[in-house]
Structure formats: structure tokens, C-alpha cells
A and B are shown apart, each in its own frame.
Chain A
């Protein structure tokens, strides 16, 4: 069965450019999460989507970061005017329901800002 799919797997871009990262969830998973993993900060929560509810954006580090989830399925994380400190691995995870169902992670997008 297909797991969480993220694209691209690697992205190198120049400082100041915008980037879009994509996440395709496991079919039927209603909850979707974005995390960021960097050397200095470990794993940080960014944003959470559940069904048609308003997303929890409390982890987004600045207004340069935004995310959407279309039709309760695919999600896109957008970073505008990228900065070098945005360099990290961006991980998407999905889970079947709320509660203590495990989150299943994609392989991540490694973002490098030159």
C-alpha cells in the first residue's frame, strides 16, 4: 500500500525565492501534519489539518510560511522569500483519526537555501 508521499525529495534554491513542498497522504487519513527537522532545533511542529476544520497554524515560524490542503487530500507547504535558516528537512505525516493513532511520515523534502 502507498505510504505518505512527498515531493520533491530534494530542493535547492536561492535565498529570496519561493518554494512549494507537496504531500500526498495515505488514502483515508483525515489528519495531516507538517514538521520541520533541523540540526539546531530538532523536530518542530508546523501546522495541522483535520478534515474541513480550520488548520492549527500555531507552529508556523513566520508569515512567510503557509500551507493549504485541497479537498482534504493533498497538502502544499509554501515558503515565501526563503532565508538560509529555512534550510531543513520538511516532513509530512498523516494519521487515520484523532486520538492516539500513530502518525505515519513521508520521506521528507530536504530544502537547501543557498
Chain B
């Protein structure tokens, strides 16, 4: 069964606007971590933001914020004030307690238009 589901294969956003990337996850583990990574066309995977399952507040890192809805098992990434350099593939990933690997979603391609 898929542990991480990203339902949006591709999205277009106008420069300076905000965009929300959806991520839902499936785990019965009460302790887990959720990560978002950015992969530009050059290929490197860049860590963006982390949310722990016990964190009381939504994570924020600069223009990135995470809309964490634990009961719905969703961890949507919000990118505010989009820039052309935000054009990339974005991956949601989960690490469950006692496991080391990250389970990744299929990714969402974001294209920022000028």
C-alpha cells in the first residue's frame, strides 16, 4: 500500500502567488516525521521542511510552511510568494519510528510562470 500519496502530478502557479502541494500519508505508527524535498531539473534533492507527528505547531521555513492536519493524515506544503526558481519537482516523504528509510510520494511538478 502507498504510504505517501501526492495526487497532483503537475501544477502551474503565477509568480508571486502562493501554491499548495497536497500530501496524504498512511501509517499506524504514532511517532513519525514528514519531510518535503525539492528536486530542480538539475537533479539534486534539497531538504525544505520537517514536521514531527508530535509537533504542536505547523512547521515554517522562510517561504515554506506546512499545513499539518494530523487527524486527516495530511501534510500539505505551502509555498508563498512563488519565484521562478521554485520551478521543480516536490516530494513529500515520511519516516516512521524505528525505520530508517524515507518513503516518498510520486512527486508534484511545479512550474512558476512569469
A interface residue numbers (CB < 8 A to B): 31, 33, 35, 42-43, 45, 48, 50, 56, 59, 89, 91, 93, 98, 100, 102-108, 110
Tell me the B34-69 residues at the A interface (CB within 8 Å). Answer: 35, 37, 42-47, 50, 52
Give bound CA distance, A21 to B37, whole Å. Answer: 23
The contact of A98 among B45, B46, B52, B100, by CB within 8 Å, is B100
Q: Is the CB of A102 within 8 A of B91?
A: no
Known: A31-B100, A98-B100, A100-B33. A105 touches B45 (CB 8 A): yes
Known: A42-B106, A100-B52. A48 touches B43 (CB 8 A): no
Q: How far is the CB of A88 from chain B (nearest CB, A)?
A: 12
State the majority secondary structure of interface residues on B: strand
Give bound CA distance, A33 to B103, whole Å. Answer: 12
Q: Is the CB of A91 within 8 A of B45?
A: yes
Q: Which residues of B contact A110 (CB under 8 A)?
A: 43
Q: Is the CB of B102 within 8 A of A45?
A: yes
Q: Is the CB of A43 within 8 A of B91?
A: yes
Q: How far is the CB of A39 from chain B (nearest CB, A)?
A: 11
Q: Is the CB of A108 within 8 A of B107?
A: no
Give bound CA distance, A105 to B43, whole Å. Answer: 10
Q: Which residues of B contact A105 (CB under 8 A)?
A: 37, 44-47
Give bound CA distance, A33 to B47, whole Å. Answer: 15
The contact of A43 among B43, B46, B104, by CB within 8 Å, is B104
Q: Which residues of A contact B100 (CB under 8 A)?
A: 31, 33, 48, 50, 56, 98
